[in-house]
Amino acid sequence: MANKTVYVGMSGGVDSSVTAALLKEQGYTVIGVYMKNWSQDLPGFECPWKEDYQDAKRVAVQLGIDFKLYDFETEYRQKVVDYMIDEYKAGRTPNPDVMCNQEVKFKLFLNAALSDGADMIATGHYARTKDGQLLTGIDGNKDQSYFLYRVTEDALNKTLLPIGEFEKPKVREMAKKLGLATAEKKDSQGICFVGKVGIREFLEQFVTTEKGPIVDRSGKVLGEHDGAIFYTIGQRHGLNVGGGLPYYVIGKDMDKNEVYVTTNLDDENLWLKELEVTDVHWINGAPDMGKTYSVRTRYRAPLVNCTLHTTDAGTVSIELEDPVRALTPGQSAVIYDGDLVLGGGIVI
């Protein structure tokens, strides 16, 4: 370890702080790096990047390690933010954290660090790597492997994820024992790059929307929405229609600017036993088609047994043992074999 240099992505949070501390303890030469991905303030919300940068720097000083800032703001805007906005405009619900890991942390950051003299990189993700494979984190409540399924085998071979071996309370405990400046800092909430601002408030800064009809199964107009872009499959809150049974979003038409709803919790559009994914990425090569695996269709959703089939269109069809609620186009379906992450794709 003594002659291995690791660049640790330090976000100013407790997880990446402990990551840096553990690797230093293990004998690596550790360099802390803050990635400046987003700095724009939004109306009513101040971007916390300066505070996060200072917190990361404080921890680096405490640990006695060198500290750098990498500015990826331009690339981040193109690769993550523009992608996210385009997906919402198309009526889909993307996962910007997945794209951030694919394009920024495990591509831009990795390449910049290696060019700078690093042998490896490390992040504060709750997941594990072994021989270029991605494994789930020990803490089932915090496991973040879902967000990492698009990382390549080559990148994983050069990545360390030390806190994936621990449960979150233990990580907090270690931070307190070490007296780290971030030991009591709350986990960040909201979109990965804009702190506490919600997705709706964020989108309103970049897209113009028009009100339109909310329509039930019979074609009856029940009310008015603020813009179809803001609604996602399975959504219940924020519709402001009815007064009796709650309504759920079951679809939308972006061209007509219509949102479709139902009060029927068993509606066929809410529960599906089969889904199709495109833009498929397998970490260590394609798995066996027809064999039973498990799939997670959103972060923290329960795993469901499934079988995979390739289609003539080059997509992958995923047959589910049990129906899954509110499958949403644009989200990721991630395939697991026990605690091994095989890969996945984007729900069509």
In the chain the beta strands, taken as DSSP E runs, fall at 5-9, 29-36, 66-71, 120-122, 127-130, 133-136, 159-160, 212-215, 221-225, 248-253, 258-262, 271-282, 292-296, 304-310, 316-325, 332-337, 340-347
289: Cβ contacts below 8 Å, ≥ 6 apart: 307, 308, 309, 310
Q: Which of 299, 22, 333 is nearest to 142 (CA)?
A: 299
In 1-153 the beta strands, taken as DSSP E runs, fall at 5-9, 29-36, 66-71, 120-122, 127-130, 133-136
Positions marked active-site: 100, 192
Q: Which of 334, 302, 339 is nearest to 318 (CA)?
A: 334
Q: How many C-beta atoms surround the C-beta of residue 11 within 10 A?
A: 25
